């Protein structure tokens, strides 16, 4: 599957155990691939086409003007007056993801798709030698370009999946970055706390309250100190990850809930119309429950207004893997 890779002896070259792929500005890139007129132009992808909503994704041409995920459409048009606002097409993004997975698996089996735009591959045997892992990374990049000229990805190589993802985040767009175990943890010291995967605004404040303001200070903590600051085993797990250990993830927890959400277009922002949309979401959730052969013990409804939605979305994107 990984093609003809040369053989190396142990110790001849450094090794890495994971390859992580991050599709750059995925929703916007797919729109640019599907609509040639959008290529090279700033694009903002939204749930509904109204100035009161926010951008779910922004192309790199839009990001150059300061538009990013969570920026309101109204603000985006001020920052970038010529931005192209397009409505999201989730089915199209899933279709492209399946094509991308197929292209990737011509080179490596995918260990796990962490989200629609993030995938990890566990390297084995000869794949682990750095020259071979780098070659595989560039082959995957080329396969994506063959699939669509507007599709770009950043690839990270590292001793564990967490650091491979961190490496992919360090050089965007279209980068290939390597983090070797022998270079840890000082190779991470150039990062800001908020750049560390899993550190949200709230966690940054908690770290600051413990006089931790830099990644260098974070890496000097013991595993026990990190567990105490996080208040859970997640802190200890992150300590092992940051120091290059391939700390095994816990098996996926059983599903505890099923949810559906929808951003209301202006014409549906009345009590009566919102109620009808809620019924439809309930029906969709019930359908999924039946498909999963599950029962519900209760139903909860959450309503968020536009400014609160942006805050919630920004917080969730910075808090962990499934951003």
Active site residues: 118
Give residue 125's Cα distance to chain centre. 27
What does DSSP assign to residue 46?
E
Which residue in 19, 322, 28, 20 sits closest to 151, CA to CA? 28
Torsion, Cα of 145, 149, 151, 156 (10° steps): 40
- Cα torsion through 48, 53, 57, 61, rounded to 10: 100
- Entry field: residues in the chain: 323
Considering only the C-alpha atoms of the chain, give the largest distance between any 2 of them, rounded to a whole number of Å: 70
* Residue 303 · residue 281 · CB < 8 Å: no
20 bridge partner residues: 120, 156
């Amino acid at each position: 599957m990984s093609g003809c890779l040369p053989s190396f002896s142990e110790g001849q070259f450094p090794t890495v155990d994971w390859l992580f792929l991050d599709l750059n500005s995925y929703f916007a890139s797919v729109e640019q691939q599907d609509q040639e007129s959008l290529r090279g132009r700033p694009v903002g992808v939204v749930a509904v086409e109204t100035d009161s909503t926010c951008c779910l994704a922004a192309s790199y041409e839009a990001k150059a003007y300061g538009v990013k995920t969570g920026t309101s459409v109204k603000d985006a048009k001020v920052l970038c007056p010529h931005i192209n606002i397009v409505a999201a097409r989730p089915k199209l993004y899933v279709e492209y993801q399946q094509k991308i997975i197929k292209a990737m698996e011509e080179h490596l089996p995918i260990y796990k798709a962490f989200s629609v735009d993030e995938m990890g591959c566990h390297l084995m045997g000869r794949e682990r030698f750095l020259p071979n892992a780098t070659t595989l990374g560039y082959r995957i990049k080329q396969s994506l370009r063959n699939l669509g000229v507007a599709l770009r990805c950043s690839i990270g190589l590292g001793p564990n999946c967490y650091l491979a993802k961190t490496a992919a985040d360090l050089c965007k767009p279209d980068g290939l970055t390597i983090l070797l175990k022998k270079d840890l943890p000082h190779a991470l010291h150039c990062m800001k706390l908020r750049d560390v995967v899993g550190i949200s605004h709230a966690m940054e404040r908690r770290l600051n309250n413990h006089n931790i303001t830099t990644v260098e200070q974070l890496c000097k903590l013991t595993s026990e100190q990190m567990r105490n600051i996080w208040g859970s085993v997640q802190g200890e797990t992150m300590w092992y990850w940051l120091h290059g250990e391939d700390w095994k993830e816990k098996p996926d927890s059983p599903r505890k809930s099923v949810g559906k959400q929808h951003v209301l277009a202006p014409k549906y922002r009345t009590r009566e119309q919102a109620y009808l949309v809620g019924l439809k979401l309930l029906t969709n959730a019930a359908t999924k429950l039946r498909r999963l052969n599950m029962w519900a013990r209760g139903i909860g409804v959450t309503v968020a207004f536009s400014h609160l939605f942006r805050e919630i979305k920004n917080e969730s994107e910075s808090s962990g893997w499934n951003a």
